[in-house]
Structure 1
Amino acid sequence: MISVRHQEKDESKVATIYDVAKLAGVSPKTVSRVLNGDAPVKKQTRDAVDAAMAELGYVPSNAARMMRSNKSGLVGLITGAISHGIEPIEPEGLPDLFIVQGIQHVMGSSGKTLMISDTDGVSDQVPHLIRTFLQHRVEGIIYVADHHKRVTLPKVPDDFPIVLANCFDPEGHPSVLPDDKQGQKDLVAKLIQSGHRRIGYLTLDRTLVATGLRYRGYREALAEADIPYADELVSMGYEEGQERESQILMQALDRLLSLEEPPTVICCGNDEMALRLYGLLRSRGIRVPEDISVAGYDNYRVIAETLFPPLTTVELPYFTMGQIAARHLLALMSEQEEKPELPGLVGSPVCWRSSVTALNTVSVLNSKGRNNQ
């Protein structure tokens, strides 16, 4: 009976770092090094400490470790992805959600705990959320925007790590952004290589940062191919805050089709606009791509891969942007003296599908047919 009572007493005892050290045959300081990762420890020693902790059921005190190391192990993430598009009326991409997934993919293997706060679509919430994170002693913050834009953040300590994803601010915090200009330029250049010279462009709202950048890419591709820019081929197909989106797009399409020399291909500001354009063209008896080619932007696969024909578009690398933002924040949070360079722009590759007809190929085939007659 005495031995049973003694055994029960031992089982109910809370293991300490000294118990782990005794069982592993090392000093308490070595156990501390294993727990905190603040000094090199041989693999054999680390394995012995891990085995001792498992046998004793030792649970480290995060609070105590935080006080000793002055690090919380927490990373704050501000986004609108959770509340964004809960019941979407129209098919659309979820860039902020894909960015968050990329961030989580990196943070999940870093040993850090990601704390996510949602703005509920209200940008005025951001300063409050940042202050709350600072009160909880997070080691760094990532702010994710739903589209490429300029943001304003509250004042934070100069040495506090903050990384912006899909946005930028006047203070010059590190930003991870899509290369919108190069993406549009590469798309138009590939259309030109396929024999298109009359390239229509239905843009998003011109107040958007991405629209201005992509417009520059469109013009640069034309200029490098010695194709004169024609203002009549460019029209806004979507206006921010307008409920009559279909009417705006319809009017823009009518202007393009009424030209003396209509475009052979129409680039759209995003894949959702391209989806609408498919319907408008077919309602007029115009076939895609036999009569006119169509290209989008985003590579939102729910649209691009299910349309018939599948849509040629440009990939917006949201998942990769999230990964880069997370890795950069971890680097800023590290104790290394030399801080990493800004992540900068992330490339947007062209996804070529069958919504675009290669006119130069068609010309070659037609000439071969005539020669055989």
Structure 2
Amino acid sequence: MATIYDVAKTAGVSPKTVSRVLNGDAPVGQGTRKAVEAAIRELGYVPSKAARMMRSNKSGLIGLITGAISNSPEPAEPRGLPDLLIVQGIQKVIADSGKTLMIADTGGLPDRVSHLVQTFLEHRAEGLIYVADYHQQVTLPPLPGGCPLVLANCFDSTGHPAIVPDDRAGQRDIVRKLIESGHRRIGFLTLDRTMVATGLRYQGYRDALAECGILYDDQLVAMAVEIGSESDNTLLNASLNRLLDLADRPTVICCGNDEMAMRVYGLLSSRGIRVPEDISVAGYDNYRIIAETLSPALTTVELPYFAMGQAAAQTLLNLIKGRSDRAETKTLISGPVSWRSSVTARNSVSVLKQKGRNNA
């Protein structure tokens, strides 16, 4: 295997000059540079990255710990928006920065996190990103000083920079658009109440009602999914029946995610209820495998996983460069509402416009 000394001899220069060409840390004449590069190609010389790391104390490596790979569903089994999109967003920014992303999957075993952190540190990773499979609070092992950590889709109690979805704003935005479309009786089938996202989206639901002057009705809200039984229709069926049996039943049903909305379509169809002619349906995620293939196509709000991944990676790069303000420990990323044909307008004049006239 060729060495830097072989390259120097072939190019007729000193080893120090070859090093300058490789590292770009000092001016080198154009002719000399071409001679060195030609010698490198001729000899098939591969620079020692390990040696360069020892000199610069920078590995160029970023460690990422996730469960997205092992937890991703089979292509034929859509089960919600894969958090693998967060990893893709991270990869895009890290690759553009010239650094290398090393990915380790937990295999669904939280106990592996400490070992994976230690492994990355042994490989001199410049920083770490931890990606959770849903919006939640996590507890991670302590890191040695000087190794920055960024959390994606999660947060902790120690104040590490965290990139999380703005669930409250997302639910507020879609409910507000439903109201603008003339809906005043808006049902809400939520995910498990113990989930962080559920509480935030419930607040967003109530925010939109209050902003538009609509009284909150507890009868219109029901939990429809419990953790550990996401594909079990028993609770969903009971909660949906509760809404449909109301004397003044909702004109639109907001679902906790697009997968739930897909199942609501089926349950409504089995009762002879048409979407959107008899009742409108909205989701959350904008998981296109579901939202764009349902008939009618599903109105939903974007869960901005790719953008969250990009923000997490950029935050880490800023920390590595010492350019980040650590005072902002939690960054909220919002996504747009995707309006499709599963929601129909209730009248030609929006509630908000009518409310404005009444206040004039």
Asked if these proteins are the same fold (TM beyond 0.5), I'd say yes
The code of the aligned residue for 1:16 comes to I
Counterpart residue type for residue 135 of structure 1: E
Counterpart position of 2:103: 116
Alignment pair present for 1:318 and 2:305: yes
Decide which of 56, 70, 79 is 1:69's aligned counterpart: 56
Query: 1:333: how far off?
Result: 1.7
Secondary structure of 2:241 counterpart:
helix
Structure 1 residue 24: Cα displacement: 8.0
* Residues 197, 227 of structure 1: 8 Å contact kept: yes
The residue aligned with 1:16 is 4
Q: In structure 1, what is the Cα distance between the partners aligned to 2:32 and 2:277? A: 66
Shift of 1:193: 0.5
TM-score normalized by structure 1? 0.86
Decide whether the 8 Å contact of 1:24 with 1:52 is kept in 2: no
Match of 2:171 among 160, 166, 184: 184
Q: Counterpart amino acid of 2:7?
A: D
Gaps of 5+ in 2: 351-360
Deviations 1:153-184 (A, max 9, x none): 11112321111110111111111111111000
For 1:85 and 1:279, locate their aligned partners in 2 and report how far apart those are by CA, in whole Å.
Answer: 24
- CA, structure 1 residues 152+40, in 2 after alignment: closer, same or farther (shift >3 Å)? farther
- Conserved? CA contact 2:21–2:28, under 8 Å: no
* 1:75-104 CA-partner distances (Å, limit 9, x unpaired): 111011121145489521343211111111
Q: Distance in 1 between matches of 2:53 and 2:183?
A: 62
Q: Residue 124 of structure 1: CA displacement?
A: 1.8
State the match for 1:296 in structure 2: 283
- CA distance in structure 1 between the partners assigned to 2:287 and 2:4 by the alignment: 53
Q: CA deviation at 1:144?
A: 0.6
Residues in 2 aligned to 1:289 and 1:104: alpha-carbon distance in whole angstroms: 39
Partner of 2:357: none
Pairwise CA distance, 1:242: 3.0
Cα deviation, 1:247-286, whole Å, max 9, x if unaligned, reads: 1011101110111110000000000000000001111111
Q: Is the contact made by 2:81 and 2:285 (CA closer than 8 Å) also made in structure 1?
A: no
Cα root mean square deviation, aligned: 2.5
Cα separation, 1, equivalents of 2:29 and 2:338: 46
Counterpart amino acid of residue 284 in structure 1: R
> Which position in structure 1 is the counterpart of 2:216?
229
The residue number in structure 1 matching 2:343 is 356
**Cα offset for 1:71?**
1.7
Matched residues in 1 for 2:313 and 2:29: separation? 28
Match of 1:105 among 89, 92, 95: 92
The Cα of 1:351 is off from its aligned counterpart by 0.5
Q: Which has the larger radius of gyration?
A: 1
Quote the offset at 1:127 in angstroms: 1.5
Deviations 1:178-228 (A, max 9, x none): 111100000001001000111000000000000001110000000000100
Whether 1:261 and 2:248 are equivalent positions in the alignment is yes
Deviation at 1:116, TM superposition (A): 1.3
SS of residue in 2 equivalent to 1:361: coil
Where does the alignment leave 5 or more consecutive residues of structure 1 unmatched? 1-12, 364-373
Q: Which amino acid aligns with 1:306?
A: T
Deviation at 1:290, TM superposition (A): 0.5
Percent identity between the aligned chains? 65
Contact 1:33 1:41 in 2 (8 A): yes
Residue aligning to 2:270: 283
User: In the superposition, relative to structure 1, how do residues 109 and 278 fare at CA in structure 2: closer, same or farther (>3 Å)?
Assistant: same
- What SS does the corresponding residue of 2:65 show, helix, strand or coil? strand
- CA distance change for structure 1 residues 58 and 137 in 2, over 3 Å: closer, same or farther? same
Structure 2 vs 1, CA of residues 42 and 360 (structure 1 numbering), >3 Å: closer, same or farther?
A: farther
Q: Which amino acid aligns with 1:123?
A: P
Are residues 1:144 and 2:131 paired? Answer: yes
Considering Cα pairs closer than 8 Å and 6+ residues apart, tell me whether 1 or 2 has the greater RCO: 2
Matched residue of 1:77: which SS? strand
Aligned residues of 1:81 and 1:94 also touching (Cα < 8 A): no
Q: 1:264 to 1:24 in 2, by over 3 A?
A: farther
Task: Tell me if structure 2 keeps the 8 A contact 1:328–1:340.
Answer: no
Return closer, same or farther for 1:218/1:21 CA change in 2, 3 Å cut-off: farther
- The Cα shift of 1:33 comes to 4.1
Residue 80 of structure 2 contacts residue 257 of structure 2 at CA under 8 Å; is this kept in 1?
no
Secondary structure of 2:69's match?
coil
1:244 to 1:331, Cα distance in 2 relative to 1, 3 A? closer
* Structure 1 residues 151 and 41, CA gap change in structure 2 (3 angstroms): farther
Paired position in structure 2 for 1:6: none
Q: Deviations over 1:113-154 (max 9, x none)?
A: 222111111112112211221122211111111100100011
- Going from structure 1 to structure 2, the CA distance change for 1:132 and 1:275 (only over 3 Å counts) comes to same
Distance 1:133 1:355, change over 3 A: same
Judged with a 3 Å threshold, the aligned counterparts in structure 2 of structure 1 residues 121 and 70 are, in CA distance, closer, same or farther, namely same
SS in 2 for 1:109: helix
